[in-house]
């Protein structure tokens, strides 16, 4: 009897253990949703998209990894630290983060491991330095990378600070994170920056393609008609419509290319690779995003609904953007881009076998699409196309007279693209609808659905969801900077120099590379009786990007010298800024500086050390 009882008991134990294993396997997988990898350039609307996704139940969207597109609106060092801080705020230090890499593409088109994606594929050589062929359409200063890198100066005052940070040699690369995430199981990929990283991944890892379930892209314009730059009804006859009616949104260079949207334009060849990858694709182009404005009603409703840190962060970001908008047309020109894509995608994914892409937020339609990578006539060798020019065999085995063999837009206002008294004729990066064979059927969001609630002042269904999701109590942020460090005070520290005899007055003009910071420390340590450091001028045309000015403020704060004024210099070398739109320009000289290790990535982060400086209350705005 005793023996039998013991046996029974053991049997029960065994079953219990088995049951528990079953529960932990099935229970776990049962509640885990689609594994998602997000590739982003960390623009402000990318932040909205990321936070929206983090707020959704992981049983629906299980965000596994964030990789950073370094070939777009932000710079690697600033972008990666912002991702780390946002994930920390949201309690998600488990999510892998990848950025950069030092690999290159050899002349025989071999893609080396860990290409950093800093350059469009057409200009990618051996290293991270190179020409800004497409990226020169993005402003480097205000309204562009300076604002995005620092999130309008506001990121540093708000986001808490976690343990994870960029650190040279230890930082996982974008390609590594893509490989690890996608080889671990079926993955849905969200692309909301340029498509460089993911195209490189697909070309280097064809065996992993089977694990990519679906690709969602925010980008392109197919039948879109740009609502900006139109002449109002009561306009004077002299009013010249600008982008009005264009497919694209290259607001800095629409006179040469009215067709392209930024994400696709940053690397048309990469976009072509992704579109033709045979993986099912859903795209949320300008066609749809042009129909969902951040209007006054939305911003006012948002202002009254900031019940979580993440809602606060998004609202305050939007508010700064509105307050610093270059004209009074913010409410008519700021759309929901990446966040709208994340909402549509999540809604599509909620339903199984949803091949028509039914969702709450947008009307969908299949359209056959291609991506224009070069301009007709094909097969000309005019020096604009490194895939063909100067080598016996075209790179990547491309066809001599094929679609990639024409003129490739070389720069802003490329003379080839300019038509006298007419619309520009370059189509690089145009996601073009095609009726004849050759296109790829892609599920396209064509317009935003109106709010079903007619008594609400919000006009779009997604606007309601966006505010609801950001404000819900589940999966909420833990704190912001001031609640993480309750003893932190925004104080200005100034030395008491009364009664001192001042030595030589000095103005220090620096470019924010690591050596310059050492010199600055040295100058600050000298007795004011010898050297009186009156002012610092920061030049963003050297080894660091403009947003790194925060490091100068922080260093001065640490040294108790918040009294020293700091001025930010011109974003371009002499004669490099565009004559029509001075916020953009060429990189003739700065193109020799590596963007990865030892270059911008390391100087923008002071080799990872900038984050340990105390935070100065001084910021760019």
Ligand X SMILES: *[C@@H]1O[C@H](CO)[C@@H](O)[C@H](O)[C@H]1NC(C)=O
Which position among 240, 352, 421, 455 is part of the footprint of ligand X (CB under 6 A)? 455
Return the range that interacts with ligand X (CB under 6 A); candidates 66-74, 376-384, 422-430, 452-460: 452-460
Return the range that interacts with ligand X (CB under 6 A); candidates 87-95, 212-220, 394-402, 448-456: 448-456
Least Cα distance to 259 among 290, 208, 291, 225 occurs for 225
From the CB of 345, what's the least distance to ligand X, in Å? 21
CA 15 to each of CA 20, 153, 246, 392: distance values in angstroms, whole numbers, following the listed order:
8, 59, 67, 69
Contacts for 312 with CB less than 8 Å, ≥ 6 apart: 158, 306, 480
| Binding of residue 484 to ligand X (CB under 6 A) | no
Which position among 109, 456, 532, 576 is part of the footprint of ligand X (CB under 6 A)? 456
Contacts for 219 with CB less than 8 Å, ≥ 6 apart: 191, 192, 195, 261, 262, 263, 264, 271, 283, 284, 285, 431
DSSP state of 416: G
Classify the phi-psi angles of 411: left when phi > 0, otherwise alpha if psi is within -120 to 50, otherwise beta: beta
From the CB of 500, what's the least distance to ligand X, in Å? 36
* Residue whose CB is less far from ligand X, 423 or 479: 479
From the CB of 105, what's the least distance to ligand X, in Å? 10
| Binding of residue 473 to ligand X (CB under 6 A) | no
Which position among 60, 109, 157, 324 is part of the footprint of ligand X (CB under 6 A)? 157
- How many amino acids of this chain bind ligand X (CB under 6 A)? 18
Dist CA 159 CA 305 (whole Å)? 19
Dist CA 193 CA 214 (whole Å)? 17
| Binding of residue 592 to ligand X (CB under 6 A) | no
Return the range that interacts with ligand X (CB under 6 A); candidates 74-82, 199-207, 449-457, 556-564: 449-457
* Residue whose CB is less far from ligand X, 254 or 481: 481
The 8 Å CB, 24+ separation contacts for 229-235 are 229/254
Return the range that interacts with ligand X (CB under 6 A); candidates 370-378, 396-404, 478-486, 582-590: 478-486
Least Cα distance to 369 among 281, 289, 307, 265 occurs for 281
Which position among 59, 356, 453, 582 is part of the footprint of ligand X (CB under 6 A)? 453
Which position among 57, 126, 167, 612 is part of the footprint of ligand X (CB under 6 A)? 126
Looking only at residues 77 through 106 of this chain, which bind ligand X when binding is defined by CB under 6 A?
Answer: 106
CA 263 to each of CA 41, 70, 181, 248, 249: distance values in angstroms, whole numbers, following the listed order:
9, 12, 23, 11, 10
Which position among 33, 91, 92, 158 is part of the footprint of ligand X (CB under 6 A)? 158
Looking only at residues 310 through 339 of this chain, which bind ligand X when binding is defined by CB under 6 A?
Answer: 312
From the CB of 535, what's the least distance to ligand X, in Å? 25
From the CB of 568, what's the least distance to ligand X, in Å? 21
CA 88 to each of CA 17, 39, 161, 190, 440: distance values in angstroms, whole numbers, following the listed order:
35, 18, 7, 21, 39
| Binding of residue 576 to ligand X (CB under 6 A) | no
Which position among 437, 473, 489, 525 is part of the footprint of ligand X (CB under 6 A)? 437
* Residue whose CB is less far from ligand X, 29 or 575: 575
| Binding of residue 472 to ligand X (CB under 6 A) | no
Which position among 109, 305, 471, 480 is part of the footprint of ligand X (CB under 6 A)? 480
Strand partners, 531: 504
* Residue whose CB is less far from ligand X, 312 or 354: 312
Instruction: Count CB neighbours of 339 within 10 A.
Output: 31
Looking only at residues 365 through 424 of this chain, which bind ligand X when binding is defined by CB under 6 A?
Answer: 366, 368
Dist CA 26 CA 393 (whole Å)? 53
DSSP state of 117: -
DSSP state of 375: B
Task: Kindly report the length of the chain.
Answer: 621
| Binding of residue 109 to ligand X (CB under 6 A) | no
From the CB of 557, what's the least distance to ligand X, in Å? 16
CA 313 to each of CA 34, 88, 465, 605: distance values in angstroms, whole numbers, following the listed order:
27, 14, 17, 22
Dist CA 19 CA 589 (whole Å)? 66
| Binding of residue 482 to ligand X (CB under 6 A) | yes
From the CB of 579, what's the least distance to ligand X, in Å? 8
Looking only at residues 29 through 58 of this chain, which bind ligand X when binding is defined by CB under 6 A?
Answer: none
DSSP state of 393: S
From the CB of 583, what's the least distance to ligand X, in Å? 18
| Residues making contact with ligand X (CB under 6 A) | 106, 126, 157-158, 312, 366, 368, 437, 441, 453, 455-456, 480-483, 574-575
């Amino acid at each position: 009897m005793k023996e039998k009882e013991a046996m029974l008991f053991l049997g029960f134990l065994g079953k219990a253990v088995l049951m528990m294993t079953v529960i932990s396997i099935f229970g776990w997988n049962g509640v885990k949703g689609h594994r998602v990898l997000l590739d982003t350039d960390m623009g402000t609307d990318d932040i909205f998209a990321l936070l929206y996704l983090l707020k959704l139940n992981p049983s629906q969207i299980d965000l596994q990894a964030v990789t950073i597109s370094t070939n777009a609106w932000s710079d690697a060092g600033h972008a990666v630290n912002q991702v780390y801080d946002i994930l920390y705020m949201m309690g998600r230090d488990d999510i892998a983060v990848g950025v950069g890499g030092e690999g290159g593409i050899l002349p025989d088109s071999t893609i080396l491991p860990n290409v950093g994606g800093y350059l469009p594929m057409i200009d990618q050589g051996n290293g991270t330095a190179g020409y800004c062929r497409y990226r020169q359409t993005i402003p480097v200063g205000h309204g562009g990378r300076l604002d995005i890198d620092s999130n309008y100066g506001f990121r540093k005052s708000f986001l808490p600070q976690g343990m994870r940070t960029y650190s040279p040699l230890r930082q996982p690369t974008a390609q590594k994170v893509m490989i690890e995430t996608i080889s671990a199981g079926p993955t849905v990929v969200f692309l909301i920056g340029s498509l460089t990283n993911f195209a490189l991944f697909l070309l280097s890892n064809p065996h992993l393609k089977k694990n990519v379930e679906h690709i969602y892209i925010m980008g392109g314009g197919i039948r879109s008609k740009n609502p900006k730059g139109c002449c109002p009804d009561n306009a004077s006859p002299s009013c010249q419509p600008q982008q009005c009616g264009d497919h694209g949104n290259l607001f800095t260079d629409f006179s040469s290319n009215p067709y392209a949207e930024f994400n696709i334009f940053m690397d048309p060849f990469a976009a072509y690779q992704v579109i033709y990858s045979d993986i099912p694709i859903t795209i949320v182009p300008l066609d749809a995003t042009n129909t969902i404005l951040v209007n006054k009603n939305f911003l006012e409703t948002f202002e009254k609904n900031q019940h979580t840190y993440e809602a606060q962060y998004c609202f305050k970001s939007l508010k700064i953007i509105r307050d610093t908008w270059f004209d009074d047309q913010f409410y008519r020109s700021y759309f929901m881009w990446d966040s709208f894509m994340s909402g549509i995608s999540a809604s599509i994914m909620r339903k199984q076998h949803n091949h028509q892409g039914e969702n709450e937020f947008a009307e969908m339609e299949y359209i056959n699409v291609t991506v224009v990578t070069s301009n007709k006539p094909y097969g000309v060798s005019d020096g604009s196309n490194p895939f063909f020019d100067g080598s016996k065999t075209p790179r990547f085995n491309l066809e001599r007279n094929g679609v990639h063999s024409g003129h490739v837009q070389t720069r802003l206002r490329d003379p080839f693209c300019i038509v006298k008294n007419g619309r520009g004729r370059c189509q690089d990066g145009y996601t073009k609808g095609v009726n004849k064979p050759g296109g790829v059927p892609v599920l396209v969001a064509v317009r935003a659905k109106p709010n079903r609630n007619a008594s609400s002042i919000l006009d779009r269904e997604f606007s309601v969801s966006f505010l609801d999701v950001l404000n819900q109590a589940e999966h909420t942020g833990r704190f912001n900077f001031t609640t993480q460090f309750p003893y932190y005070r925004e104080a200005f520290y100034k030395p008491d120099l009364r009664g001192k005899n001042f030595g030589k007055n000095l103005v220090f003009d620096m470019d924010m590379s690591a050596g310059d910071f050492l010199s600055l420390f040295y100058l600050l340590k000298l007795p004011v009786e010898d050297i009186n450091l009156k002012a610092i001028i920061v030049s963003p045309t050297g080894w660091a990007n403009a947003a790194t000015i925060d490091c100068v403020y922080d260093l001065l704060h640490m040294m108790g010298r918040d009294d020293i004024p700091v001025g930010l210099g011109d974003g371009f070398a002499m004669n490099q800024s565009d004559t029509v739109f001075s916020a953009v320009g060429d990189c003739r000289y700065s193109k020799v500086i590596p963007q990865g290790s030892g270059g911008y990535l390391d100087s923008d982060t002071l080799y990872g050390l900038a984050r340990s400086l105390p935070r100065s209350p001084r910021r760019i705005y």
